[in-house]
């Protein structure tokens, strides 16, 4: 048997006879020649079946192949600059072809399909070139984020998904019946990480989180992955430095390692090349002034109305979009009104109506990709905030304990994976960036 290779490494095997195991993506040709497009999970390449070079039954087998049939191909790797593929410019001159299974008629064809049909067939749609590229990019994003944190002495901690208390407001909780009690799916791992820092200093959790989001938008899923770093002895400024370093590293890594996938996605990478720390920092108050100014200069009344906002409101996506248009980097917006943020955020010194919170907004209209804050470290203040928000004190007993034994200034943030992938990939809707997205009206497949 010849060397089994991955298509992504094909450039290293020019002139060698190799074996590739995969699936038929598409097929063209007539008469004496058949061109197969073979995908193996790592890439797509062209396989040439030339009748005079092959046993007749092998050429016949090639002609019978249907889309998505599983096959094993042996042949010579050649350079051919016109050969399509990922990577482009290589082909296999087949010497043998083994059919593992002839696939039944495949529902996803090269013609256009509607989004509902594609989502209903998500288990098959993930094989398509663009979806494949997106999900490979997602894996690299997740790995690069982990790698950066591990290199900075962060320790990965697993936090529970079954939780007795709300972390991020009570309006988006999924209830679970737990042996006669009502508990919730985790909206965040943060509160547990605030315990973990007192044992490990710098930690992160990385897993699925859940929000019963009742609105259908391009940014909201009901199950999404969140990376949540949390740091002891760290204030808001220190946290922004960590965020900008981590995000820059991740984006530059994607440009290096996923150039082929970004080409498949037709991503214009010039904006991504500019993602280098430090990022601009702008206060909520200044951001409000800028939004008001933009609004004043608009002539279309509908457009104008979209930007209506009063001090105290959180930004919606129209505000984030306008704001990020002013910069060609991701931007930090810090110092949001306390009333629009979670109960645990440290108040601004001498300005309790504002809290030490920060969102990172991605450029090109993608908006919020991270949200974080410095946390309240004083036990009495924290208890008061729990009461003000009508949260059940009993469920937060352990959380209050953290402020009793060596409490320190600490900060953390959460990065939403799906929104981050949408931005880096340049795709409109976050639903495509999760292999099996869950959102309002969809839990199948």
Placement of tokens 């060596």 in the chain: 406
By beta-carbon proximity to ligand 4AD, the closer residue of 399 and 413 is: 413
One residue of 48, 221, 246, 288 binding ligand 4AD per CB under 6 A? 221
Task: Give CA angle at 138 (184, 227), nearest 5°.
Answer: 40
- Nearest residue to 176 (alpha-carbon basis) of 159, 189, 195, 162: 162
Tell me: does residue 371 bind Mg ion (CB under 5 A).
yes
Please tell me the distance from the alpha carbon of residue 225 to that of residue 438, in angstroms, as a whole number: 11
Task: Tell which positions 367-386 bind ligand 4AD, by CB under 6 A.
Answer: 368-372
Surface-to-core class of residue 255, CB atoms within 10 Å of its CB (0-12 exposed, 13-18 middle, 19+ buried): middle
Site stretch for Mg ion (CB under 5 A), options 239-247, 364-372, 389-397, 423-431: 364-372
Minimal distance, residue 85 CB to Mg ion, in Å: 41
Residue among 159 and 190 whose Cβ is closer to Mg ion: 190
Nearer to Mg ion, 68 or 244 (CB): 244
Pick the closer one to ligand 4AD by CB: 224 or 249: 224
b (16+ CB within 10 A) / e for 202-224: bbbbbeebbbebeeeeebbbbbb
Which range touches ligand 4AD (CB under 6 A), out of 34-42, 120-128, 284-292, 363-371? Answer: 363-371
Question: Which of Mg ion, ligand 4AD, none does residue 96 bind (CB under 5 to 8 Å by kind)?
Answer: none
Q: Using CB under 6 A, which of 68, 261, 418, 432 touches ligand 4AD?
A: 418
Q: Are 220 and 441 in contact (CB under 8 A)?
A: no
CB of 40 to ligand 4AD, least distance (A): 32
Q: Could you say whether residue 414 binds ligand 4AD (CB under 6 A)?
A: yes
Find all residues with CB under 8 Å of 346, minimum gap 6, and list them: 355, 356, 373, 374, 375, 376, 377, 409
Answer whether the bond into residue 445 is a cis peptide, omega within 30°: yes
Q: How far apart are CA 176 and CA 133, in angstroms?
A: 35
158 to 177, contacts with ligand 4AD by CB under 6 A?
A: 167-168
**DSSP at 345:** B
**Ramachandran category for residue 295: left, alpha or beta (phi over 0 → left; psi -120 to 50 → alpha):** alpha
318 binds ligand 4AD (CB under 6 A): no
Closest CA to 359 of 404, 413, 421, 401: 413
Of 39, 74, 138, 220, the one binding ligand 4AD by CB under 6 A: 220
Chain-centroid distance of CA 182 in Å reads 30
Nearest residue to the partner Mg ion, using Cβ: 371
Kindly tell me the number of DSSP H helices and DSSP E strands found in the chain: 14, 19
Segment contacting Mg ion by CB under 5 A, of 108-116, 119-127, 315-323, 368-376: 368-376
Q: Does position 234 bind ligand 4AD by CB under 6 A?
A: no
Q: Which is nearer to Mg ion, 145 or 262 (CB)?
A: 145
Among 213, 286, 313, 364, binds ligand 4AD (CB under 6 A): 213
Choose the binding region for ligand 4AD from 42-50, 138-146, 153-161, 364-372 (rule: CB under 6 A). 364-372
The tokens of 280 are what?
């601009």
Judged by the rule CB under 6 A, the positions of this chain that interact with ligand 4AD are 167-168, 188, 190, 211, 213, 220-221, 224, 226, 228, 368-372, 412-414, 416, 418-419, 430
């Amino acid at each position: 048997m010849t060397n089994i290779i991955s298509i992504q490494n094909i450039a290293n095997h020019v002139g060698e006879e190799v074996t590739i195991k995969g699936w038929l993506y598409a097929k063209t040709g007539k008469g004496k020649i058949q061109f197969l497009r073979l995908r193996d999970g790592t890439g797509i390449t062209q396989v040439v079946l030339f009748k005079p070079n092959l046993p007749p039954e092998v050429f016949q087998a090639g002609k019978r192949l249907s889309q998505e049939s599983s096959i094993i191909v042996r042949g010579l790797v050649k350079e051919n600059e016109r050969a399509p593929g990922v990577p482009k410019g290589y082909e296999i001159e087949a010497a043998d072809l083994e059919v593992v299974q002839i696939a039944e008629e495949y529902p996803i064809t090269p013609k256009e399909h509607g989004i509902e049909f594609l989502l209903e067939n998500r288990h098959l749609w993930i094989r398509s070139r663009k979806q494949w590229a997106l999900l490979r990019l997602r894996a690299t994003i997740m790995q690069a984020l982990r790698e950066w944190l591990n290199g900075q002495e962060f320790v990965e901690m697993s936090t529970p998904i079954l939780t007795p208390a709300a972390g991020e407001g009570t309006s988006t909780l999924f209830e679970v019946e737990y042996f006669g009690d009502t508990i919730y799916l985790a909206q965040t791992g943060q509160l547990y990480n605030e315990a973990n820092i007192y044992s490990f200093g710098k930690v992160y959790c990385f897993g699925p989180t859940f929000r019963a989001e009742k609105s259908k938008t391009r940014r909201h899923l009901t199950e999404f992955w969140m990376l949540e770093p949390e740091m002891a002895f760290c204030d808001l400024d220190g946290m922004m430095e960590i965020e900008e370093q981590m995000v820059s590293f991740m984006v530059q890594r994607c440009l290096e390692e996923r150039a082929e996938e970004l080409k498949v996605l037709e991503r214009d990478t010039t904006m991504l090349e500019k993602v280098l720390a430090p990022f601009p920092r702008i206060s909520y108050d200044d951001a409000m002034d800028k939004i008001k100014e933009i609004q004043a200069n608009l002539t279309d009344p509908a457009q104008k109305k979209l930007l209506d906002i009063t001090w105290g409101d959180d930004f919606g996506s129209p505000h984030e979009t306008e704001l990020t248009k002013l910069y060609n980097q991701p931007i930090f917006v810090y110092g949001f009104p306390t009333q629009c943020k979670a109960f645990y955020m440290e108040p601004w010194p001498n300005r309790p109506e504002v809290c030490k919170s920060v969102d990172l907004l991605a450029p090109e209209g993608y908006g919020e990709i991270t949200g974080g804050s410095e946390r309240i470290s004083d036990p009495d203040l924290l208890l008061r905030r729990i009461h003000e928000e009508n949260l059940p004190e009993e469920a937060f007993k352990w959380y209050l304990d953290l402020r009793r034994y060596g409490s320190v200034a600490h900060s953390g943030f959460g990065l939403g994976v799906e929104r981050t992938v949408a931005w880096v990939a340049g795709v409109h809707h976050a639903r495509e960036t999760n292999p099996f997205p869950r959102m309002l009206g969809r839990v199948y497949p």
